[in-house]
Structure 1
Amino acid sequence: MAITTYAELKAAAANWLVRGDLTARIPEFITLAEARLNRVLRTRLAETDVALSAVIGVRTIPLPAGLTEALALWIVGGEGRTKLRFVAAELIGAASLQGEPAAWTVDGATLAFDRPCDQAYPLTLRMLRGHALSDSAPTNGLLAEAPDVYLFATLCEAGPFLRDAELAGAYEAKLDRAIAELNAKDARSRAPRTLGVELADLFLERGR
């Protein structure tokens, strides 16, 4: 059967477990699987850009819902985007005078700047968004691209509940292989851009 939606994933997990009494538990297994995948996967499938707005006189903004990792932050202006420098939270400091921020960090549940903002600057945050299927959000990029990763991660969480170490080990092996293949594919999709930059740098160096 196809595995393209939350309902189909639940049905597939029940089929693989060959247990008709786990219907109420399978959503728990999926939630636990997503918590794990959100920690170990850093693929382009989870990358998204979110529009934010600074607040005049304030140097923090609440983190967007669903964020698992912040990747980059830009101020958006009429002539394009200006990338802000990331600084570790313990090193960023905080100027007292308001102005245009030049650096940012993640501090607790907020994005924090190196100074209070003097304008409501439009911002774009590139981040990793957590995978979270539900009846109201029945699909996402990871399920569409790698349903095997979702299924095997779900089955891994069922193993301890069923107290079946052999079953859990078999699905752990399948999950590890599926994740490795997904990461390799993601790396290949990024390679042409990296190679293009390297070749351009090489030609510039030779032209000097």
Structure 2
Amino acid sequence: MTTSPKDIPTLSEWYASNETPQTEDEPKYNHDEGLNRRVSIWRGDITKLQADLIVNAANSSLLGGGGVDGAIHRAAGPELLEECEGLGGAETGETKVTKGYELPSKYVAHTVGPIYSSRAVDKCAQQLKSCYQTSLDLCQSHGGGVIGFSSISTGVYGYPIKDATEIAIETTRKFLEKDQSVTRVIYVVFSKKDEEVYKSILPQFFPPPPSSESSNGNKHE
């Protein structure tokens, strides 16, 4: 059974439900209700998401592997592997697109995240940012619509989930401010723990409406 984006609450709907986590961190951006309607966090199976494009956390061969990568290949069927075999692999931070085949998604963006190293934090951050940026760019160039992201590099590649999530969300915020073709960004997670990390960080980059008590605002660009 597939899941429609219509069945996944937007940030606007989440904030309206009064489930917003309390955070002492000051928002890094101003509130924008239009942007909040274009972002969601969903704990579920990315292979069941009805999207225009889903993002696969691939390895450099692009030929499938474990975790989400393997699940996407199994769900898409053998034609996905056949197409990937003709792509010639990809470098870290690079993204290549295939058809979705038997998936409910039209396209799959295969992006190669960095293997985290505490001795190369800045390089890893730039590579991870490139994964998100190039995936969004490719969604735009393939007609836009709904994009579903897996949590890139946070599994066996060892990227700290909080740091990775901040990069993912800020890259998305900057992209959506300039683009109208991508109508929905859905961050797809498996675990409750990862879901809570996303929910704790999202209000910094996509703040809820200011309350009446703080309507004078202390947000900055």
**Larger proportion of helix:** 1
**TM band (smaller chain):** under 0.3
Higher relative contact order (CA 8 A, sep 6+): 2
**Larger proportion of strand:** 1
